[in-house]
A and B are shown apart, each in its own frame.
Chain A
Amino acid sequence: MNPLKHRRTRLVAVLGTLLLTVGIALPASAATTYEPITGTGSTWSQNAIDQWKSNVATNYGMQVNYTGVGSSAGRRDFIQGTVDFAVSEIPFQARPEDGSAPEVSPRGYAYMPIVAGGTAFMYHLVIGGKRVTNLRLSGEVITKIFSGAIRNWNDRAIQADNPGLAMPDKAIVPIVRSDGSGTTAQFTLWMSKQYPNLWTTGMTSQFPTPPNGKAQSGSAQVAGYVAQGYGEGAITYVEYSYALEAGFPVAKVLNAADYYIEPTASSVAVALLKARINTDPASADYLTQILDGVYNNADPRTYPLSSYSYVIVPTEVRPDVAPVFTTAKGATLGAFASYFLCEGQQQAPDLGYSPLPMNLVLAGFDQIRRIPGAGSANVDPNSCNNPTFKPGDSPDKNQLALTAHQPAACDKRGPAQCTTGTAGAREETPVSGKGGGGAATGGAGAAADGSAAGGAATGDPAAAAAEAAAGGAGGAVYDENGNLISDGGSTVAGAAIASPFTVGDNGWGWEESVMLGAVLLLLAAVALPPYLSQRLRRAEATAGSSSSGVKR
């Protein structure tokens, strides 16, 4: 009848389609026999959990809601009873070292290991237009970087770790977590245990942002920042899987055996063989980890910053403090736990984690039995399809650790540096000189411990340039800003070389005056003619009118 009526019918049609959508989508969620469960917590282990929850949804119709909000928030949610389970890298803090209030859960709980992995140092560094993928760092340097003591990539200590790289004159931007994070807690715990004189804050979930650093919330955000174009020069601590996902390299970290190791599944598994686990079932911290042995594990295959993450599960139904949790949900939680302890661990290496060893799986089974309503979950190690053990194995074996390769010789601390990439960036980074040998032959004060590439090791750029020049063929040449211009004895084609650039100084010399003069002249050339012609015309007009006035 009229356009308005048409519009109305159309509107009705649209609304109808929308309702239909709801109708179609509904049965999908109704088909489950499991009660949906909800959890929050760590972003460190989020990539694994996200994969598992999509797997159990596909295979068993189990609905698991998980939100990575940070370990601290996860533990808080568990205390407040708003979730069915929480995931955290560290247990409830009864005596937090930074003086915060103790965390006390009103309902019974148990810790169950969920997945192991390495806290990696993902970085974004470019030398001469080529992305560096083989950076190596010692623990002391890492601590100094994140406490703000080392602020430039061409610092002597970093250069000493990387004899094959000509470190550029670029500010280091440490990216830290702004939310309360278990990753931060693990990292600060490691620093406070290993370098108590360099790291004085102690273990904390809230990283104090260094003055040259930046804070972002969540693992994905810190990794995302480093991966951006403007993230050049940035480095962050994050689970290995985030670097894999982002396609970025991670730093190889120096272990107690003087090898620089990447946090792969096997190096984490080897490291964790030395983890002491609190096996006293009476203790509230039952199954939590004591990592001092891991930090100083003498096995050359060890990645020192390896750790487990925990899922905190309720062991009692308490409608007064946590009305959300029921035995029906306990059944789902038990089935989910049984899945991730066994089958789910198969995917851990691909996702950037390390599978849990048998002793932890067995202990996890004990915890599943304590979950109310989880009686029907599978807790048989022989039908557990976990990659670290075969049916009939003893608990102390780890198949992954047995088969792990020894590190390459070029990963040993010394003048040689491997060219292979790490984590998500597998492309090689050519090193300058024969594994830093150029500096050794140049001999401009380069010591045998591998502090290489001539003058970069010295702080004073001018002296460095002079020294490098004096060093002759083997030495690297730097400009006055400390940038590498040529690295003498480079034998590798396409070696990473920084292009020189100068920062414009703000002095006012004769050149500037001439330029200003030219600009003014140009502006005058544009503006003056119309202005003058106007003046002339006006002058003529007034003259004309006045003369005519005289005539009258």
Chain B
Amino acid sequence: MSIGAVVSDDRSAGEVTTTVILAEEGPSAQPPQEPRSLTPRPSRSDSIFRSVAFAAGGATVAIMLAVGLFLSLRAGSALQVTGFGFLVEQQWSPETGEFGIAAVLFGTITIAVIAMCVSVPLALGTSMLISEVLTGKLKQWSITVVDLMAAVPSVVFGLWGVFFLQENIIPVSRWISTYFGWIPFFAVTDQTGEPLTDASAFTSSAFIAGVVVALMVVPTQTSIMREAFMQAPAGEREAAYALGATRWGMITAVVLPFGRGGIIGGTMLGLGRALGETIAVYMIISPIFSINWQVLKTGSNSVSALIALRYGEASEFALSALMAAGLVLFLVTLVINFTAASVVARSRSGAESEV
């Protein structure tokens, strides 16, 4: 329709444009020897459009800045009390003035890192499979399914995590801790260093939350990576084949270097979402306020789960403390997003990767 519309609309728009031209030619009484100004005087509709657009942009920025400023101001009153200690204190007790997000932020990052360890290989493999191996109907179908999965609400993943995964992943956790317990992360021990084998030692762990969050972010990542891979120029692919490369050879020589921006961008965006995920994590973890290196062992925490847990009973000051925690999370996500954006901007691909 658009082209047709353009063709016919030009005609209907013609009247308008003529009036504009007439309006500009109106003061044609000017002496002809003076050079005509090349910058057009905007018509009334134009200036209205400009000011409306400007106002909308201003309103959007105002809303966003209001959020940012409000957060920073309220967070400031809590941060004044603790200062730098906010980043190193593990306890969370704003009423007594002893609070910090060391343990909470550690938990948040642990969960996000576990999520990335699970999701990135899967996303990478699947996106390459879709863009390079699959063909025809199957390819279209898988693209649709992956895109659809990106829209599945997080509470659905949370349900699955709590009611299915929590119970069924215990043997996996136990298996890993039994055979890879010599790696400190995978050990599950009590205070005295004795290995634990009870089922309840493996529930509500950062690992389970990480797996659920991984499944939540993996469709987005896959989608972004696939788009980057599919944009690899056909000429270069054919050149690689013509030089005798196998398909994998072509992928390593052409697709992967070309799609590097998409890989990094997708990973970072997934990381950003994993850091901010609330409900699924809140439903799964058992919150603790100490740093727990044993990811398979019960007990972890995350900033957003902490906010969801404590906002209701928070006094004025405790709310400020929660906002300070939220602000730190926001800044971490911001740094990740801007890093991703700059990496993507400098690469050949992935310009289309957006949230």
Report which A residues bind B (CB closer than 8 A).
40, 69-70, 72-73, 75-77, 96, 98-101, 103, 170-171, 173, 178-180, 205-206, 209, 211-212, 214-217, 225, 228-234, 503
Contact = CB atoms under 8 A, between A and B. Distances in A.
B140 interface: no
Nearest to B312: A73
B286 to A, nearest CB: 4
B102 to A, nearest CB: 17
B167 A178 contact: no
Interface stretch (B70-78, B121-129, B141-149, B192-200): B192-200
Interface in B294-320: 298-299, 309-310, 312-315, 317
Interface in B181-201: 190-191, 196-201
B347 interface: no
A214 B199 contact: no
A77 B312 contact: yes
A171 B196 contact: yes
B166 A230 contact: yes
A494 B200 CA distance: 27
A92 B294 CA distance: 39
Contact of B95 (A77, A100, A225, A228): A100
14 contacts: A76-B314, A99-B95, A170-B198, A171-B196, A178-B287, A178-B309, A211-B191, A214-B286, A215-B288, A217-B309, A228-B166, A230-B199, A231-B200, A232-B199
B333 interface: no
A125 to B, nearest CB: 12
Contacts of A96: 95
A28 to B, nearest CB: 27
A215 B167 contact: no
Contacts of B201: 171
A100 B96 contact: yes
A206 B310 CA distance: 11
A421 B282 CA distance: 34
B110 interface: no
A230 B167 contact: yes
A101 B95 contact: yes
A73 B308 CA distance: 12
A312 B312 CA distance: 17
Contacts of A231: 200
B204 interface: yes
Interface string B151-177: 000000000000000110010000000
A230 B288 contact: no
B278 interface: no
Report which residue of A76, A178, A206, A230 has the largest number of chain B beta carbons within 10 angstroms of its beta carbon.
A230
B312 A232 contact: no
A52 B96 CA distance: 38
Given A178-B309, A229-B199, A230-B199, 9 more contacts: A99-B95, A101-B315, A170-B198, A171-B198, A209-B288, A217-B309, A228-B203, A230-B170, A230-B202
Given A70-B313, A73-B313, A214 B299 contact: yes
B309 A179 contact: yes
Contacts of B96: 98-100
Nearest to A75: B313
A232 B315 contact: no
A512 to B, nearest CB: 13
A209 B91 CA distance: 12
A40 B170 CA distance: 36
B190 A212 contact: yes
Nearest to B163: A228
Interface in B48-79: none
Contacts of A225: 203
B286 A173 contact: no
Nearest to A171: B198
Contacts of A209: 286, 288, 299
Contacts of B204: 214
A216 B191 CA distance: 21
A76 B318 CA distance: 11
Contacts of A180: 310, 313
Contacts of B93: 98, 100, 206
A249 B200 CA distance: 19
A230 B203 contact: yes
Contacts of B95: 96, 98-101
B286 A216 contact: yes
A230 B196 CA distance: 14
Given A232-B199, A232-B200, A214 B313 contact: no
B313 A179 contact: yes
A103 to B, nearest CB: 8
Contacts of A217: 309
Contacts of A77: 312
